[in-house]
Amino acid sequence: MSNLQAPILLVTIPLLAAFFAALGGMLHRKISFPIALIAIILSFHQSIIVLLKVVNDGVINYRIGGWMPPFGIEYVVDHLNAMVLVVITFVSLISIIYSKLIVERELPDKIPQFYTLYLLLTTGLLGITITGDAFNLYVLLEISALATYALLALGKDRALISTFNYLILGTIGASLYLLGVGHLYIATGSLNMADLFRILPSLSGNSAVMVGFILIIVGVWIKMAFFPAHGWLPNAYTYAPSSSICLIAPLMTKVSVYIMIRIMFSVFSAEFTFANIAWQTAVVWCSVIAIIGGSLQALAQRDFRKMLTFLVVAEVGYMVGGVWLANEIGISGAILHILNDALMTLCLFLVAGILIFKTQRHQLMDFRGMFRKMPVTMGAFIIGALSMIGVPPTCGFFSKWYLIQGAIEAGRWEFMAALIFSSLVNAVLFFRIIEIGHFQHETDSHDHAEEKISEAPAIMLIPLVVVAIALVVIGLYTNDIVTNVIQHAVPVL
């Protein structure tokens, strides 16, 4: 039995902290924030330890309760989820620091509850990523889902009704996943992923296994808002409070993509998943529609937040399509894009949050004159935008490059065309905003309310700058990330 406790600690520290944040919050509402912050810093530290250990020594297995799998529940950390764990804890750390002031303004009487839910959501996402048990994943999925519903419903305008729609669809998605796991269980008698991987090849052609696969994949697609089940996402994310959206928007869809990859390659095998060419073509076409449709919808929006949510839908298309290209380059691109897209989305939502914090508005037109008033914020915005468009040396370029190469190798020209089209649309979108921000000066300079706007406070700016720098640094070190981490995560085809 290995004595390395880091895999379990990185999940249980935020979990325990959630309880202490709730308890401490009853004494004084200011106690919750330091508890949450310390817990996430510790968890981030543990995730780094795990990543280094995996890169140096290979896969880590951790038996919860000391029981041998498949009888007990097992944690398995390999290259793929070690990377995702670091991404989750990093995003969580950045946005908890960033959102301190926003929470105090947006939800002044619900601060302890906010941090409790925030920590539960982080725990859920980490647990989903690290677990090696198919049923355990379902429970964690529901923890993160419940926390997300509560956090999203605290928003304004249509937040309630769009969260309710999300709840219905999210429950359908999770239930389909559970049903699919049941199909696998009835066919194999096991719930452990590694055990399923061992048994399933002997059951090829069994209709229960096929149905189980379809149910799980469709359930996860609903959760990640993949076309045609994407309808819930834009409204749910647009009206959410900007304190929590910086955690939810970058991570929920990426973690769902991770679940899809895990199910496709670690529960089922690549041969099983890609056995049917017609399905593969259909999925790639769906992602093409998701990319093109998402980009066009984004172009039609006048609201900055809503525009970003449609870009999230398009980015989901990138990753799903990349995985279903069924070649190693495409899958590497998709995995790399999980990392990059989480940070790009984070960067842009942070900018949106600052804009709302300062002006209370989030229309595109509100960017007028922002370069003069908030040079640092807008500088970070430009880096995020360039990365979204895919301009080197930002990291967005490299994952897109891999995806395009994968598309060429697989001969899926429609996917390549969609990627290039979406880059062009992104370029139009973001240059329009940059133009508004840079060249259009205010028509009415006597407006007192707008005159007062200046740069955001340091506690919000520093996280934003860190993310912007990370976008460039990851771009520069893409090669190392691919050779050390992602290459080991891609199944041999």
Partner 1 sequence: MKLIGLIVVIATGLLLLWGVTDFPDWADPQSPASTHLSPHFLTESIEETAVPNVVTSVLGDYRGFDTMLETTVVFAAGIAVYTLLRRSRRKDLREKPEMIEEELPHQALIVKTICRLMAPFMQLYALYVIAHGHHSPGGGFQGGVILGASFILLAIGFDLKMVLKRMREKTTLVLGILGVLIFSGIGMVCVLLEKNFLDYSALSAILPATDIIMARSHGILGVEIGVALAVMANLVLIYVNLSSDGKYERGL
Partner 2 sequence: MEFLLAKYNYWFYILIMMVGFYAMISKNNLVKKMIGVSIFQAAIILFYVSIGAKRGATIPIIEHGHDAVHHIDPTAYINPLPHVLMLTAIVVSVSTLGVALALISKIYAKYGTIEEDEINEQLTDV
Q: What angle do CA 152, 81, 171 make, to 5 degrees?
A: 35
Give the integer Cα–Cα distance in Å for 57 and 77.
Answer: 11
Given 51, 167, 263, 470, the residue binding partner 2 (CB under 8 A) = 167
Residue 427: CB minimum distance to partner 2, A: 33
Choose the binding region for partner 2 from 47-55, 157-165, 281-289, 328-336 (rule: CB under 8 A).
157-165
Q: Can residue 92 be called a binding residue for partner 1 (CB under 8 A)?
A: no
If the CB atoms of residues 22 and 307 are measured against partner 1, the closer one turns out to be: 22
SS3 275: coil
Q: Can residue 31 be called a binding residue for partner 1 (CB under 8 A)?
A: no
| Total residues in contact with partner 2, by rule CB under 8 A | 25
Q: Can residue 113 be called a binding residue for partner 2 (CB under 8 A)?
A: no
Give the integer Cα–Cα distance in Å for 203 and 185.
Answer: 12
Choose the contact partner of 364 out of partner 1, partner 2, none; CB within 5 to 8 A by kind: none
Q: Can residue 71 be called a binding residue for partner 1 (CB under 8 A)?
A: yes
Which DSSP symbol is given to 75? Answer: E
Choose the contact partner of 89 out of partner 1, partner 2, none; CB within 5 to 8 A by kind: none
Choose the contact partner of 172 out of partner 1, partner 2, none; CB within 5 to 8 A by kind: partner 2
Sign of the dihedral through C-alpha 263, 191, 7, 350 = positive
Residue 308: CB minimum distance to partner 1, A: 25
Residue 347: CB minimum distance to partner 2, A: 31
Residue with tokens 């980490």: 126
Q: Can residue 149 be called a binding residue for partner 2 (CB under 8 A)?
A: yes
Q: Can residue 142 be called a binding residue for partner 2 (CB under 8 A)?
A: yes
For residues 320 and 273, is the Cβ–Cβ distance under 8 A? no
Read out DSSP for 425-436? HHHHHHHHHHHH
Residue 383: CB minimum distance to partner 1, A: 35
Residue 102: CB minimum distance to partner 1, A: 16
Half-sphere exposure of 113 (CA within 13 A, CB side): 10
Task: Find the binding residues for partner 1 in span 203-222 (CB under 8 A).
Answer: 206-212, 214
Residue 351: CB minimum distance to partner 1, A: 27
Give the integer Cα–Cα distance in Å for 2 and 5.
Answer: 8
For residues 311 and 391, is the Cβ–Cβ distance under 8 A? no
SS3 5: coil
Neighbours of 59 (CB within 10 A): 12
Token pair for 486: 């992602």
SS3 189: coil
Q: Residue 62 is inside which H or E element, if any?
A: strand 60-63
Give the integer Cα–Cα distance in Å for 11 and 33.
Answer: 18
Give the integer Cα–Cα distance in Å for 157 and 363.
Answer: 15
If the CB atoms of residues 3 and 443 are measured against partner 1, the closer one turns out to be: 3
Q: Residue 61 is inside which H or E element, if any?
A: strand 60-63
If the CB atoms of residues 135 and 401 are measured against partner 2, the closer one turns out to be: 135
Q: Can residue 203 be called a binding residue for partner 2 (CB under 8 A)?
A: no
Say what angle helices 207-224 and 304-324 make with each other, to 10 degrees. 150
Choose the contact partner of 296 out of partner 1, partner 2, none; CB within 5 to 8 A by kind: none
180-201 per-residue burial string, b: 16 or more CB within 10 A, e: under 16: bbbbbbebbebbbbbbbeebbe
Choose the contact partner of 19 out of partner 1, partner 2, none; CB within 5 to 8 A by kind: partner 1
Write each residue from 104 to 133 as x if it is in contact with partner 1 (CB under 8 A), else as -, in one continuous string: -----xx--xx-xx--x--x---x-----x
Token pair for 178: 């559970």
Residues near partner 1 (CB under 8 A) = 1, 3, 5, 8-9, 12, 15-16, 19, 22-23, 26, 62-67, 70-73, 109-110, 113-114, 116-117, 120, 123, 127, 133, 135-136, 139-140, 142-143, 146-147, 149-150, 153-154, 183, 185-191, 206-212, 214
Residues near partner 2 (CB under 8 A) = 135, 138-139, 142, 145-146, 149-150, 153, 158, 160-161, 163-164, 167-168, 171-172, 175, 178-179, 182, 185-186, 191
